[in-house]
Amino acid sequence: MGQELIFYPVADHALLVQIDPEAGDIQNRVWQLDQAIAANPPLGVRETVPALVNLLVEFDPLITDHKELETAISELAEADASPLEEGRLHEVLVCYDAELAPDLEAVAQATGMSCDAVINMHLSGEYQVGMYGFAPGYAYLSGVPEPLQLPRKPAAVRDIAAGSVLIAGPQCLVTTLTMPTGWSIIGRSPTEILRNDPNDAFLFDVRDRVQFKRIDRATFEKQNIGAVL
């Protein structure tokens, strides 16, 4: 795998490791490299940040440099043959009530399905955390069933509530803050993803799997006490 790595220095304290796009199975290769570094971290490594096609490795520039780290990561990638560990499975509650799912009907119309069919298909998806990005706790989940893979809206909508369940293309996510989005909003979840714990701030880790479970509005209100609807 080492020959498939492309390195880019980032400032004086990080190295971006890109997987050669010709290598195939890029996401799993990113995860395997991240796992290998976690198991045997090269001297000076502080943190790794996996994304969909690359891995950012932050390091202490007083201990190592880009070249030394590039060599160490290449050697790790060549030597490591450990199978990829399976992520944990999390259940995320979601309410598809019309007031909490303003785009559900539009998604149904665009796909030629009923709202219930869209909901059932969303629930049937096999979701996995590919990366975090954009905002704290913003976990990008792969696994949206192909019939629901609609493009983003032409323009973003402001002030979308935290907990909104969104889909766009092959990805799904649950917002953690009030923010704008151009994705389709098909439900809302009371499940806490962004947590007040500096040692374990997010519910998910990269590679974890997510299963959505439907709840009714009364259950949502009970679970979401104190939230501003």
Given the structure tokens 């997010």, which residue do they identify?
Answer: 202
Give the Cα separation of 164 and 94 in Å (integer): 9
The two tokens of residue 2 are 């080492």
Give the Cα separation of 32 and 47 in Å (integer): 15
CATH number of 23's domain: 3.30.1360.40
pLDDT tens per residue across span 167-219? 999 999 999 999 999 999 999 999 999 887 777 788 998 999 999 999 999 99
Helix (H, G, I), strand (E, B) or coil at 33: helix
Indicate whether 54 and 129 sit together in one domain. no
- So what's the pLDDT on residue 16? 96
pTM here? 0.84
User: For residue 123, which of 160, 161, 182, 165 has the smallest C-alpha distance?
Assistant: 165
Give the Cα separation of 177 and 136 in Å (integer): 8
Indicate whether 104 and 197 sit together in one domain. yes
pLDDT range class, residue 1, cuts 50, 70, 90: very low
Indicate whether 204 and 104 sit together in one domain. yes
Segments forming the whole domain that contains residue 64: 2-79
- So what's the pLDDT on residue 195? 82
CATH number of 153's domain: 2.40.100.10
Length of the chain: 229
